[in-house]
């Protein structure tokens, strides 16, 4: 009996691990991933799989045409890293690039898609339709890599797109998805308070930027609690405060940066308007000046119901041990949202928690259960086959 494509994926697990660990040692920041892109392209070259590079920047897209008629479906993996100094010195494959780390699992995403591609290539005559293997750069940093890839026209012929994220908040062996809003829109803001500095012993002669900024931080927290319908979800977070030069000097300026997370445009607009109203009012009341910048980031990830249902109902066909769950949305952001604005599809989480090393994404000790790469590869492949069975 001929080996199934899923069994071939299993056989390639050790190769996936080797790929992931190599990429983990040599991470590259968003829009700077030239060597990673070359590694991906060289892998396809060695396998004989047709590919194109420099798509929308550093993107790489490979294409496998099956031997049977069918639909054209894209599977996506991202491959950029973060500006974090890794603290996993116990790992023999920890980052060799100072101050840069794969702290979100993108090395695993790349490894699982390359493994999936090799398995499919070995079974291409039995493949229905066309598989598009989308390796995307710059997910971590806006404006991201998804939009320029779309704008390049490289996906115009694609009928659907699926993606998954190795997720260490979720137990190994569990697949999570929602039939609608799945991840939040992620915006960023910057507020600068311009006061009047002076001696710490003579506050009456100053306009203390730190005190003013503190009032702003406290008041911003009232937007979600008092200006947004409690049945609608939103987050306003101040992530940094930069002010002051010495213990006995009153700061003349203070800069705040943070993020806003929403699922709906009208909520997003209300928060932006309320933020500026608060900042303006507090600054003027204190006799200070201000600057307010609000940058809209990635839109929310809104899964298409039919495609998300395929994940929920059929992912287990790839591996009977998997548990699939429909879950509430996450407030994290992802530029996979842009693909779903253009094409039917779904994005989902593949559980990858290491119970005794459960550090969150973007943490300097982040790591994931490498066995989850098999689940990611198999469920993506199953999504491809499931979509082939859908009526046009």
> How far apart (Å, rounded) are the C-alpha atoms in residues 192 and 257?
9
**Is residue 2 pLDDT above 80, yes or no?**
no
> How far apart (Å, rounded) are the C-alpha atoms in residues 163 and 350?
10
Question: How high is the mean pLDDT of the chain?
Answer: 97
Residue-level pLDDT at 392: 84
320 burial level (CB within 10 Å; 0-12, 13-18, 19+) = exposed
In degrees and rounded to multiples of 5, residue 135 shows phi and psi of -100, 110
Q: Which amino acids are annotated catalytic?
A: 80, 139
CB 146, CB 74: distance < 8 Å: no
> 292 with 158, same domain?
no
> 99 with 226, same domain?
no
> 173 with 204, same domain?
no
80-97 confidence digits (pLDDT tens): 999 999 999 999 999 999
> 49 with 116, same domain?
yes
Q: Which residues are annotated as a binding site?
A: 104, 106, 140, 165, 362
> 259 with 202, same domain?
yes
> 174 with 314, same domain?
yes
Helix, strand, coil tally for the chain in percent (to 5) = 35, 30, 35
Query: Which domain CATH number covers 340?
Result: 3.40.630.10
> How far apart (Å, rounded) are the C-alpha atoms in residues 377 and 114?
9
**Please, which residues have CB within 8 angstroms of residue 59's CB and are 6 or more apart in sequence?**
37, 53, 134, 135, 136, 137, 145, 148, 149, 152, 154
Number of folded domains that form the chain: 2
214's enclosing H/E stretch is helix 209-227
**Is residue 250 pLDDT above 60, yes or no?**
yes
Q: What is the mean pLDDT of residues 15-35?
A: 98
Residue-level pLDDT at 1: 38
Write out the residue range of the structural domain in which residue 37 sits: 5-183+300-388
221-244 confidence digits (pLDDT tens): 999 999 999 999 999 999 999 999
Beta bridge partners, 323, equal 174
Q: Which residues are annotated as a binding site for Mn(2+)?
A: 104, 106, 140, 165, 362
Final residue in a domain of this structure, among 257, 272, 298: 298
Provide the percentage of residues in the chain whose pLDDT is more than 90: 99
**Is residue 29 pLDDT above 60, yes or no?**
yes
> 352 with 284, same domain?
no
> 256 with 266, same domain?
yes
**Is residue 131 pLDDT above 50, yes or no?**
yes
**Please, which residues have CB within 8 angstroms of residue 42's CB and are 6 or more apart in sequence?**
none
142-193 confidence digits (pLDDT tens): 999 999 999 999 999 999 999 999 999 999 999 999 999 999 999 999 999 9
309-365 confidence digits (pLDDT tens): 999 999 999 999 999 999 999 999 999 999 999 999 999 999 999 999 999 999 999
């Amino acid at each position: 009996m001929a080996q199934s494509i899923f069994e071939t994926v299993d056989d390639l697990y050790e190769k996936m691990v080797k790929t992931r660990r190599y990429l983990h040692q040599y991470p590259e920041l968003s829009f700077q991933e030239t060597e990673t892109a070359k590694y991906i392209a060289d892998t396809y070259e060695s396998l004989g799989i047709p590919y194109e590079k420099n798509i929308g920047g550093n993107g790489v897209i490979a294409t496998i045409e099956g031997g049977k008629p069918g639909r054209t479906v894209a599977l996506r993996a991202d491959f950029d890293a973060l500006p974090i100094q890794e603290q996993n010195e116990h790992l023999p494959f920890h980052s060799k690039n100072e101050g840069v780390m794969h702290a979100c699992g993108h090395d695993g995403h790349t490894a699982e898609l390359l493994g999936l591609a090799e398995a499919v290539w070995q079974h291409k005559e039995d493949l229905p339709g066309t598989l598009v293997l989308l390796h995307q750069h710059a997910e971590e940093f806006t404006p991201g890599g998804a939009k320029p890839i779309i704008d390049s026209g490289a996906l115009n012929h694609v009928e659907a797109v699926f993606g998954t994220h190795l997720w260490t908040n979720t137990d190994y062996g569990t697949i999570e998805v929602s039939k609608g809003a799945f991840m939040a829109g992620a915006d960023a803001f910057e507020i600068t308070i311009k006061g009047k500095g002076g001696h710490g012993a003579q506050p009456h002669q100053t306009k203390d930027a730190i005190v003013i900024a503190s009032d702003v931080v406290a008041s911003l927290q009232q937007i979600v609690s008092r200006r947004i319908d409690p049945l609608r979800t939103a987050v306003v977070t101040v992530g940094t405060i930069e002010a002051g030069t010495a213990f006995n000097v009153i700061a003349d300026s203070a800069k705040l940066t943070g993020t806003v997370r929403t699922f709906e445009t009208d909520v997003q607009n209300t928060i932006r308007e309320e933020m500026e109203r608060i900042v303006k009012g507090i600054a003027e009341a204190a006799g200070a000046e201000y600057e307010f910048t609000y940058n809209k980031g990635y839109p929310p990830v809104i899964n298409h119901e039919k495609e998300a249902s395929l994940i929920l109902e059929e992912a287990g066909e790839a591996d009977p041990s998997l548990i699939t769950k429909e879950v509430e949305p996450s407030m994290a952001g992802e530029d996979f949202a842009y693909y779903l604005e253009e094409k039917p599809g779904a994005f989902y989480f593949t559980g990858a928690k290491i119970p005794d090393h459960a550090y969150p994404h973007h943490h300097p000790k982040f790591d994931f259960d490498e066995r989850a790469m098999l689940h990611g590869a198999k469920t993506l492949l199953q999504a491809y086959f499931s979509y082939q069975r859908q009526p046009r």
